[in-house]
Structure 1
């Protein structure tokens, strides 16, 4: 049996009902009222007023979204985020990681000071989600394919202020490994980042 109005239950069921603790707040606003006396004389047909049905508020379930999480390399101790793109790696190619660590040493940083996020696994993530999670003060984007959705247009090898952080968009390591000019251009800007 389906009863739409909980007050009607007291007239249908003669036994006592017990509510669970979690259900009690839903019914506390309903007060038991004694049954209305019945009138044996019928009113005139034109004077009949339809009875108002009480409207009860139903609890709306709270919708919780799962917090976004990223799998990254490093500990992000200095809020320095490096975005890379390696579809065939979990984080970054070993040779490129070694090159990045050598660059970090020149800046007196270590792997635990930064966070390396492989965008190959997060191509649908937008800039706001990424910055909300990592809270970077410095952002290094290595290659065109590392650009998250919703990021402002960045110029190649020109550090720019972007939403409270300094961002540098440069060549991917694959483009730098065989080009001395690309390495020099990258390092000149990386020194100032």
Structure 2
């Protein structure tokens, strides 16, 4: 077999068998080092689907850097709704009123309400009188969570809580947990004996 370049024998035979003494100098360590690749670069095979290459690249981008510090997010807590009301709500009997210039209720209206409650064998400690003007718009869900009312009296259209829907006037409604009466405001009732009588008739059913 004739080989023009003696270095080609390195791929088919052992070096000590085929190299002549005059050719050994051609295959020195420096010549081999010059031919050796300095870096191996992985190349995707042309037969590899492009979708697979893209998926691998996406996975590489999605890999978290373990040494990157993570800043904890502050926890924001919503405080519970606090209502300033008159009474102790011992019997879960809630009365909603609306007064722009009173903390709770006008003194003359409170005297009338206490007289009505007394006729029902109730005291001020048994109820919670809430002036919704201070919390407008007050939500029904917030009232339910705070007071757990078994009986709810709404005095006037401007006392209706948000989310209660449309209620018929002076027609008591019995819900699953709450007996509701939507009636006149005290200003409307105190100026009319008929309104007072109608209000009392419905209050007796609560």
For the pair 1:71 / 2:67, whether they are aligned, the reply is no
| Aligned counterpart in structure 2 of residue 178 of structure 1, from 191, 197, 206 | 191
Residue 138 (structure 2) aligns with = 125
Structure 1: unaligned runs, 5 residues or longer: 1-40
CA deviation map 1:28-87 (0-9, x unaligned) = xxxxxxxxxxxxx9642346x989653466544322111111110000000000000110
Tell me: CA distance 1:88–1:45, structure 2 relative to 1, closer, same or farther (3 Å).
same
How many residue pairs were aligned?
153
Distance 2:187 2:153 in 1: 15
Partner of 1:44: 40
Distance 1:53 1:128, change over 3 A: closer
Distance 1:126 1:53, change over 3 A: closer
Looking at structure 2, the residues matched to 44 and 106 of structure 1 have their Cα atoms a distance apart, in angstroms, of 98
Residues 1:61 and 2:74 aligned together: yes
Question: CA separation of 1:116/1:44 partners in 2, compared to 1, >3 Å: closer, same or farther?
Answer: same
Please give the alpha-carbon distance, in whole angstroms, between the structure 2 residues aligned to 1:53 and 1:160: 59
Indicate the structure (1 or 2) with the bigger Cα radius of gyration.
Answer: 2
Tell me, in whole angstroms, the C-alpha distance in 1 between the residues paired with 2:64 and 2:203: 72
Please give the alpha-carbon distance, in whole angstroms, between the structure 1 residues aligned to 2:133 and 2:90.
23
Aligned partner of 1:8 in structure 2 is: none
Shift of residue 154, structure 1, vs aligned partner: 1.2
Higher share of residues assigned helix = 2
* Structure 2: gaps (5+ residues): 1-36, 44-56
- Are 2:77 and 1:81 equivalent residues in the alignment? no
* Counterpart for residue 170 of structure 2: 157
- TM-score, structure 1 length as denominator? 0.72
Give the structure-2-normalised TM-score: 0.68
Aligned CA distance change for structure 1 residues 107 and 42 (closer, same or farther; 3 Å): farther
Structure 2 Cα separation of the partners of residues 102 and 122 of structure 1: 27
Give me the whole-angstrom Cα distance separating, in 1, the residues matched to 2:64 and 2:41. 20
Moved more, 61-70 or 85-94: 61-70
Residue 185 (structure 2) pairs with residue 189 (structure 1): no
**Which consecutive aligned stretches of 4+ in structure 1 deviate over 2 angstroms post-superposition?**
49-63
